[in-house]
């Protein structure tokens, strides 16, 4: 008998989170402020940043995009971050990736003050997460994935999670987060041998590799939960890293692209900005 997976509505979940957050922001004496820095004219990045700004403004936050031209030097970018670090009105700072090749992203990320690092990519927050310290500002995409998994499955203890992708923004922080929630975690990447054999062992399969529709039904254990992080444009249409129509016959739960992890990532980024705002207010009061 063919199973048909329940499709997880990330858009609706994200809307719910944002509505609850908007209510909390109404009662704030001033507006949480997110500063987004974009270097260059990558059209996809511009769309992502405008979406983040639109979402932040719609919830009563303040959000500016600092749009720098693509030849901006690393020094100039770092100077701007220092300025925003010192500005008490700014609660969160996000630098849109990828940066032009002449700028080292590690130098940039480590410049952001850790209390304003709402992406959670900096070494301080990544380290806290690694140590299972709840003060960590957790990267938005892994945080959104955890939210979905806990909402749908409850306790994750003992589940075998297989992650495809080991990037600093998805795979690695997600592995720490799931380990902290007592999953057994396997991380795979482009050099992994016989990947389908490993993915077939997963109770939860999370795919973040940027390869359109790579994961097929045969890669998935019957009844597994499949989370598709990939965002790819093929012939002008968006698709994920999972062959959705094929895999939904095998999985019990699946996230679509678009409408799955994307909206959850924005909701979690805004939640991080609100948390950063509260932390900074409380610090001033002390
Ligand atoms: P990266 O390119 O930084 O990392 C990709 C990872 O996938 C690498 O670890 C790479 O391995 C691995 N990989 C690549 N090809 C294969 C393969 N054939 N088999 C197994 N592993 C492979 O990408 P990101 O982590 O930044 O993003 C991944 C995807 O998620 C992209 O499509 C991106 O657009 C999307 N994304 C979506 C977000 C959302 O909000 N929905 C947020 C962030 C990303 P190796 O390390 O060996 O090179």
Q: Which amino acid residue places its CA nearest to atom 34 of ligand 1?
A: 231
Q: Same domain, yes or no, for 146 and 245?
A: yes
**Which parts of the chain have pLDDT scores under 50?**
none
> Could you identify the atom of ligand 1 that is nearest to the CA of residue 266?
40
Q: Same domain, yes or no, for 176 and 97?
A: no
Q: Same domain, yes or no, for 107 and 143?
A: no
Token duo for residue 131: 């140590």
Q: Same domain, yes or no, for 90 and 146?
A: no
Q: Same domain, yes or no, for 146 and 63?
A: no
pLDDT of residue 69: 97
Q: Are 109 and 95 in contact (CB under 8 A)?
A: yes
Q: Same domain, yes or no, for 165 and 254?
A: yes
Q: Same domain, yes or no, for 185 and 250?
A: yes
pLDDT of residue 1: 55
pLDDT of residue 284: 73
* Top mutation candidate among 138, 189, 233, 272 for ligand 1, by most atoms within 8 Å of CB: 189
What does residue 185 show for φ and ψ, rounded to 5 degrees? -115, 130
- Ligand 1 neighbours, Cβ below 6 Å, are 141, 164-167, 169-171, 188-192, 195, 208-211, 229-232, 261-262, 265
In degrees, to the nearest 5, what angle opens at C-alpha 138 toward C-alphas 275 and 132? 110
- 261 CA distance to ligand 1 centroid (A)? 14
- Whether 251 is in a domain gets the answer yes
Tally of structural domains, the chain: 2
> Could you identify the atom of ligand 1 that is nearest to the CA of residue 260?
41
- Whether 174 is in a domain gets the answer yes
Query: The domain spanning residue 104 has which CATH number?
Result: 3.40.50.10860
Q: Are 63 and 12 in contact (CB under 8 A)?
A: no
Domain of residue 200 covers: 139-261
Ordered alpha helix ranges (H), 92-234 = 105-111, 123-130, 140-153, 171-180, 195-199
Nearest to 208 by CA among 173, 248, 166: 166
Tell me the pLDDT tens digit for each residue of 220-234: 999 999 999 999 999
E strands of 57-216, at which residues? 62-68, 92-95, 160-164, 184-188, 204-207
- 209 CA distance to ligand 1 centroid (A)? 3
Residues with a catalytic annotation lie at 52, 96, 119
pLDDT of residue 286: 64
pLDDT of residue 29: 87
Considering the entire predicted model, what is its pTM? 0.97
Q: How far is CA 25 from CA 18, 28, 30, 62, in A?
A: 10, 5, 8, 11
Q: Same domain, yes or no, for 168 and 107?
A: no
Q: Same domain, yes or no, for 80 and 162?
A: no
Q: Same domain, yes or no, for 88 and 50?
A: yes
């Amino acid at each position: 008998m063919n199973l048909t997976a329940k499709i997880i509505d990330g858009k609706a979940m994200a809307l719910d989170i944002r509505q609850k957050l908007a209510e909390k922001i109404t009662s704030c004496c001033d507006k949480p402020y997110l500063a987004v820095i974009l270097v260059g004219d990558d059209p996809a990045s511009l769309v992502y940043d405008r979406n983040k700004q639109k979402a932040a403004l719609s919830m009563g936050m303040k959000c500016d995009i600092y749009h720098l031209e693509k030849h901006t030097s690393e020094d100039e970018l770092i100077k701007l971050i220092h300025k925003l670090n010192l500005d008490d009105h700014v609660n969160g700072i996000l630098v849109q990736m990828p940066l032009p090749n002449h700028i080292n992203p590690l130098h940039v990320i480590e410049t952001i003050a850790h209390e304003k690092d709402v992406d959670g990519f900096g070494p301080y927050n990544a380290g806290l997460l690694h140590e299972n310290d709840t003060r960590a500002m957790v990267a938005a995409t892994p945080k959104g994935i955890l939210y979905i998994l806990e909402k749908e499955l409850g306790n994750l203890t003992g589940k075998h999670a297989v992650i495809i992708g080991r990037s600093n923004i998805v795979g690695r922080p997600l592995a720490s987060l799931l380990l902290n929630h007592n999953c057994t975690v396997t991380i795979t990447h482009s050099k992994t041998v016989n990947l389908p054999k490993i993915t077939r062992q997963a109770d939860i399969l999370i795919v973040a590799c940027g390869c359109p529709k790579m994961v097929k039904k045969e890669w998935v254990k019957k009844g597994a939960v499949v989370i598709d992080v990939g965002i790819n444009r093929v012939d002008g249409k968006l698709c994920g890293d999972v062959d959705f129509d094929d895999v939904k016959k095998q999985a019990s739960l699946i996230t679509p692209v678009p409408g799955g992890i994307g909206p959850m990532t924005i909701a979690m980024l805004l939640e991080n900005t609100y948390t950063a705002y509260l932390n900074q207010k409380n610090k001033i009061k002390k």
